Structure 1
């Protein structure tokens, strides 16, 4: 359906007149009548009753009124998401899990805006299943996540071999009190390995589904928990956190799921930046392959 048909329908409903609707749309009354006729032919039912007072909706028109605004809004949103803004050569749509955005993907945004200022960015935060679905259908070019699912229409690239380490605010880092332990939900693989390593501690008093939230809580209230190694490294260096001696660490890689429908040049550019920032995080400095950006 032509979106102008739905837009014209809504304008007639608002104006209650074909004539006034034509004036608002800056088209002829003949054009408005033709659009309504086309819409009625597509739906197979009359939508308006014309009378001396203007136009009123039929029962079918009342039913269509429930859907027409959503149709127009969806089109406007899709056009905003897909269209290339003036002065830009392309659009790159990227999504990521919430816990990955700060600070890692925020740094990537700075890098991308500096390295490719002519590329418009569409950025979103979502849960893994939704991100994977959007990549496989081409709605997203790249999704950054921890545990990707392989789907048709997508390829998976390893970005970072991360570790989860056990840290505590206690000055005696060899002892972890169960009452101050915060269990962070790092997904099913972590839960499995955590249960094998700590079979007696599977019912924590505090369960948090977001790493940055749990880390903020521990830094403020004290306690212990598993966190990404490069994220807690500055706090360890500052003496605010301590590694728990003898505690197991868990492998926790980060992946980019890339749409096979995306522009390969744009995807490769984005992956270069992501890998460069990941490498810089691991060595504690900016990689020589990553161009510095102004903050």
Structure 2
């Protein structure tokens, strides 16, 4: 299977230039051009419009992009499964939103290694829409995410009902100044509710996309922000952090999603493991 054509296509899409794609791939620009021409000949369509502003996707190119990504992922999965150790009976591809990997999915990985070492694992960090799409298409066996949209072909189970609470390093939970507030990216729904409740805190000086990183930051540098209640509970007990009085709480449930039709060997054990690490 010649995946170099699809890989080259995706690099050109990412950098927007045949010349920059050649530099990224450590090949000549002539090689990149030849690969794209070969791909276009196989598909019978032009994939890029080339001009002074670089290489822009055509309508057909945009349509092919998600298929190119799928080709690469299917090939990588096939390579992993063919090369599994003899003692492994199954390879599972698992995805999750970034903030769910620490600690939930990290604890789950440890649990799987301890209880089911015969199940191989491939892990992915993706955005919610991408996770749902890949579970639907069979590129992922299941995904762990926040607030998935309903899909008739996908099964969804609530894993945990977390709460996001505002905490501060200041005594009595005060926020000494807006520039001491850390805006943590907990997703679109949180952003909507947060910005309605705190319009003056929308433009924080510090924006962090990962909850554990933001928590480490305010513990060292001081400040305030929203965090999962379970994560900050030990710091509240030790007096290192304080609840901010009257600050609203926001629900933050997490779910596991899998295909109703495709349920590979090991899926039941893996989902049981998710439930176990939550107990």
The residue that corresponds to 1:56 in the other structure is: none
| Aligned-partner SS, 2:109 | helix
Structure-2 separation of matches of 1:84 and 1:121: 13
Structure 1: state its 5+ residue gaps. 8-59, 280-295
What are the Cα deviations for residues 108-128 of structure 1, in whole angstroms up to 9, with x where unaligned? Answer: 011111111211111121211
| Aligned-partner SS, 2:273 | helix
The residue that corresponds to 2:257 in the other structure is: 257
Structure 2: state its 5+ residue gaps. 4-33, 43-67
| Aligned-partner SS, 1:149 | coil
| CA contact 2:175–2:224 (8 Å) conserved in 1 | no
| CA contact 1:170–1:223 (8 Å) conserved in 2 | yes
> Is 2:197 the partner of 1:208?
no
Alignment length (residue pairs): 220
The 5 A counterparts of 1:1-12 are 3=1
Structure-2 separation of matches of 1:193 and 1:78: 39
Structure-2 separation of matches of 1:92 and 1:245: 44
Compute the TM-score of the two structures, normalised by the length of structure 2. 0.70
How far apart are 1:82 and its partner, in Å? 3.9
Structure-1 separation of matches of 2:236 and 2:82: 45
The residue that corresponds to 1:240 in the other structure is: 240
The residue that corresponds to 1:267 in the other structure is: 267
The residue that corresponds to 1:195 in the other structure is: 195
Structure-2 separation of matches of 1:133 and 1:240: 41
The residue that corresponds to 2:170 in the other structure is: 170
The residue that corresponds to 2:182 in the other structure is: 182
| Aligned-partner SS, 2:171 | coil
How far apart are 1:138 and its partner, in Å? 0.9
The residue that corresponds to 2:25 in the other structure is: none
The residue that corresponds to 1:77 in the other structure is: 76
Give the CA RMSD over aligned residues. 2.9
| Aligned-partner SS, 2:172 | coil
Structure-1 separation of matches of 2:141 and 2:228: 26
Going from structure 1 to structure 2, the CA distance change for 1:154 and 1:210 (only over 3 Å counts) comes to same
Going from structure 1 to structure 2, the CA distance change for 1:62 and 1:169 (only over 3 Å counts) comes to closer
How far apart are 1:275 and its partner, in Å? 1.6
How far apart are 1:167 and its partner, in Å? 0.6
Structure-2 separation of matches of 1:114 and 1:170: 41
| Aligned-partner SS, 2:275 | helix
What are the Cα deviations for residues 25-77 of structure 1, in whole angstroms up to 9, with x where unaligned? Answer: xxxxxxxxxxxxxxxxxxxxxxxxxxxxxxxxxxx999549999x9xx94752
* Structure of higher CA gyration radius: 1
